[in-house]
Structure 1
Amino acid sequence: MSSMFRSFIAVVLTVPVIFLSACKDEQAQAQANPPESETAARVSVVTVQQRKVVVFDELPGRVSAFRTAEIRPQVSGIIQKRLFNEGAEVDRNEPLFQIDAAPFSADVEASSAILARMEAELLNAQIKFDRAEVLSSQKILSAESFNNATAALAQAKANVAEARANLTRRKLELSYASIRSPIAGLIGQALMSEGGLASSSATTPLAVVQQIDRVYVDIRQSSMTREALEDLVSAGESDDAAKLPVQIFTVAGKLYEEPGQVLFSDMSVDAGTGSVGIRVEVPNPNRQLLPGMYIRAKVPRSIHPDALTVPQEAVLRDPSGRPQLIIVGADKTASRRNVQVGSLVDGQYMIVDGLSAGETVVVLGQDRIQGGVKLETVPYRPVVAVNKS
């Protein structure tokens, strides 16, 4: 092999070695002096502030009508007409059924005739009394005769009053032949049709009218929870619990648009469950909530005027399951801290112990944090769900 060829081979083999050596030097230099953009881990943070938090219990409840009226006849008779459509809105004092009024009209005419006769007898008794009074003043009529005339006049007046009251009663019975609704609301099924005998002593109503533009929701809550909430209110640490809104969820799980308000609690505790009944009034302008419907209600359980909360995403767990937060110090470095968490309310954990107001907590980007590395912090912005319906 010639000396020129051996020199060429030596040069070819030397070039890769020099190239690899240069690459290693560049990597070492890059590790020793990383770019400025990679020196800080970017994380989302939130500064903790005190705020009022209301913790709710989600409890089952049942809807009942604001007012219910059973339509019953006050007189007995044959039903001639049904004057409403089933399931329709009816007004207060609107006629619903018409009972055959002929017998009651006859009674009114008979009572009117009796009253006329009594008034005629009264007129006769008044004339006799006036004559007896004149004769008695002239010492012509005996005292006994005058007394008899006076008693006859009083008796005639009483008969007229009785006849007039009887006529009023008969007119009232005639008006009862038209059965009216005592309240405004929705009327249900007619439980008796035309030709049926309506009896004033019957146990079954003719129909039922329910006012449901407002409804009640009856729920049961633990007596201990209720007592603790009332103690907090009485201590002046919160507003009246009855003024706090109660959120209602329909059978399908949708949030009802109108919040309710607690009216009162039962005075007695159920011996079997240790709970008390609570009545909530809920506006129902669209008649969406119907009597007998089962719903769920979020009822206040406790009130915390100065609570510290962090987003749910900020809470981490160590290998033993203890909750931790990553706190950002004044030097923009992070440190882990064990905390005690409380209730989860609207995606926010209440921090019972281990955190102070004004401290900064990492919410997103915890996996980018390395010991001693400075952080680039940006404010945390929660994701707002968009309703596409």
Structure 2
Amino acid sequence: MFALSRRMAISVILPLAAGLSPMAVLAQDPSQMPPPAVTVVTLHAQDVPLTTTLPGRVTASAEAEVRPQVNGIVTERLFEEGSHVKVGDPLFRIDATTYQATVAQAEAAVAQARAQAEAARREAERVGALRDRRVASESTTDNAIAARDSAEAAVKVAEAQLQTARIELERTTIRAELDGEIGLAQTSQGALVTASQPTPLAVIRKLDPVHVDVTQSAAELIRFRREMAAQSAEGQPDRKVTLRLADGTEYAQEGRLTAAEPYVNETTGVVTLRLAFANPDRTLLPGMYVQAVVQQATARNVILAPQEGVTRDRRGQPVALVVNADNAVEQRQLTILQDMGNSWIVSAGLHDGDRIVVEGLQKIGPGMTVTPEERQAAAPQAAAGGAAEAAAPAAGTGEQPAGQSPQEPAEQPAAEAAGAETAAEAGAAQPTN
């Protein structure tokens, strides 16, 4: 109250000190006060791609677990952890002494079987010649032929056992079966490994390209496929898919949709989609959380309205204050499609060339005359928190409290001026000493 009285007194004393008469001071019209200054942004219609943001995880495009196929003691690790390996590169060596002995034994068994087969063949030939001269019986001949065939089969068995022994000997050197990045070794020199152990010795992952698995509701997937079919019929290029990383930055490479899970999860009602992205710099790592921004369609002739210039009325409808050609304030009800960075995509309520108020909303209301100050419209940024920031304008000073009309804040300066005039009249009516 004291501050208000002081302002009214100053409003009277200063003109008197400047040489104006009391009647001239009292004759000042409050309506002649300068219009409040507001900051506006001039809007322009444009075509804007509509996108949907889907959460997902990065996965390797291929993954191979390095496991032993024979039992033994690890004698050597032949790779550098975290390095790039190629198919056939040696990774581990297992003690091969036992397997070398097995190969030697199998080679001897093959030689023995071949010798026995050769003896059986010659015996069968002699018995056959005796049968031709009717010296050997048919039974003796049949036995000789059977012994020959059995010896030849024994050779094949011995050769197969030799091949198996050589394969196991070769497997004592564990090699890469995939081109990719190899992780940390899960074993060390001197450790006993077995062919049936559950833990892999290491894991190789192919990181260029990588996959991003995202989830989308079944209804959105149906709409998306319809739009893709229409786009393909019109000969338009494939839609862009970009990634938003965990720190809010956008990944430099664009991706593409490669596959969709052929069923809908009964519990969540979503479908898993697989996207592919080039990853030459190994920026994307398996397990990383990302957000895939998928272009769904293109909105034609829409307005990007700054979010700080959009509030909500008492019914919860989005509204904006616009300065017309006469610098008068108009309130517009908006139709919003979605957010885009720090802006709203508005399909109705705003037009090309409109000047939307972004600062000073608390000082004005519809019908008031203002002094607009232009601010350049910033390019919309695809910030990760765009949807969360959208609630800030609605909760700010642009929305009027319940029970108060939008014009009431602007009427307060006029009320103060009227109070000052009343106080001046009361002072003039007092008799002078």
TM-score, normalization: structure 1? 0.72
Partner of 2:301: 308
Q: Distance in 2 between matches of 1:163 and 1:123?
A: 15
List gaps (5 residues or longer) in structure 2.
1-39, 361-366, 368-373, 382-433
1:217 is aligned to 2:209: no
Partner of 1:30: none
Partner of 1:267: 262
Q: Secondary structure at the match of 2:118?
A: helix
Q: Which string of whole-angstrom CA distances, capped at 9 and with x for unpartnered residues, describes residues 187-232 of structure 1?
A: 2222221111111111111222222122222222222222222233
**Which of residues 187, 190, 194 is equivalent to 1:195?**
190
**Which of residues 25, 36, 50 is equivalent to 1:54?**
50
Q: Residues 353 and 202 (structure 1 numbering): CA distance in 2 closer, same or farther, change over 3 Å?
A: same
Q: Distance in 2 between matches of 1:176 and 1:304?
A: 54
8 Å Cα contact 2:303-2:346 kept in structure 1: yes
Q: Distance in 2 between matches of 1:158 and 1:146?
A: 19
**Which of residues 87, 91, 100 is equivalent to 1:96?**
91
TM superposition shift of 1:132: 2.3
Partner of 2:225: 230
The number of aligned residues is 339
Residue type at the aligned position of 1:56? T
8 Å Cα contact 1:191-1:205 kept in structure 2: yes
Q: Residues 242 and 188 (structure 1 numbering): CA distance in 2 closer, same or farther, change over 3 Å?
A: farther
Q: Residues 381 and 78 (structure 1 numbering): CA distance in 2 closer, same or farther, change over 3 Å?
A: same
Residue type at the aligned position of 1:262? L
TM superposition shift of 1:351: 4.2
Q: Which string of whole-angstrom CA distances, capped at 9 and with x for unpartnered residues, describes residues 278-310 of structure 1?
A: 2222221111222222x332333x733562212
8 Å Cα contact 2:338-2:344 kept in structure 1: yes
8 Å Cα contact 2:324-2:355 kept in structure 1: no
- The two structures, once aligned, show a CA RMSD in angstroms of 4.3
1:277 is aligned to 2:269: no
Which is worse superposed, 91-100 or 225-234? 225-234
Q: Residues 328 and 232 (structure 1 numbering): CA distance in 2 closer, same or farther, change over 3 Å?
A: farther
Q: Residues 117 and 319 (structure 1 numbering): CA distance in 2 closer, same or farther, change over 3 Å?
A: closer
Which is worse superposed, 232-241 or 216-225? 232-241
**Which of residues 152, 156, 164 is equivalent to 2:151?**
156
Which is worse superposed, 228-237 or 106-115? 228-237
Partner of 2:120: 125
TM superposition shift of 1:164: 0.5
Q: Distance in 2 between matches of 1:176 and 1:289?
A: 33
TM superposition shift of 1:174: 0.4
Partner of 1:66: 61
Residue type at the aligned position of 1:361? G
| Structure showing the higher strand proportion among its residues | 1
Q: Residues 71 and 239 (structure 1 numbering): CA distance in 2 closer, same or farther, change over 3 Å?
A: farther
TM superposition shift of 1:52: 6.4
8 Å Cα contact 1:317-1:323 kept in structure 2: yes
Percent pairwise identity: 29
1:296 is aligned to 2:282: no
8 Å Cα contact 2:239-2:296 kept in structure 1: no
Q: Distance in 2 between matches of 1:100 and 1:383?
A: 67
8 Å Cα contact 1:229-1:241 kept in structure 2: no
Q: How does 1:157-176 map to 2 (within 5 A)?
A: 157-176=152-171
TM-score, normalization: structure 2? 0.65
TM superposition shift of 1:335: 9.0
TM superposition shift of 1:123: 1.0
1:114 is aligned to 2:119: no
Q: Residues 44 and 201 (structure 1 numbering): CA distance in 2 closer, same or farther, change over 3 Å?
A: closer
8 Å Cα contact 1:327-1:361 kept in structure 2: no
**Which of residues 354, 358, 361 is equivalent to 1:362?**
354
Q: Secondary structure at the match of 2:75?
A: strand
Q: How does 1:329-344 map to 2 (within 5 A)?
A: 339-344=334-339
Q: Residues 233 and 76 (structure 1 numbering): CA distance in 2 closer, same or farther, change over 3 Å?
A: same
Q: Distance in 1 between matches of 2:134 and 2:349?
A: 113
TM superposition shift of 1:83: 1.3
Q: Residues 154 and 328 (structure 1 numbering): CA distance in 2 closer, same or farther, change over 3 Å?
A: farther
Q: Residues 298 and 85 (structure 1 numbering): CA distance in 2 closer, same or farther, change over 3 Å?
A: closer
List gaps (5 residues or longer) in structure 1.
1-42, 372-377
TM superposition shift of 1:247: 1.4
Partner of 2:390: none
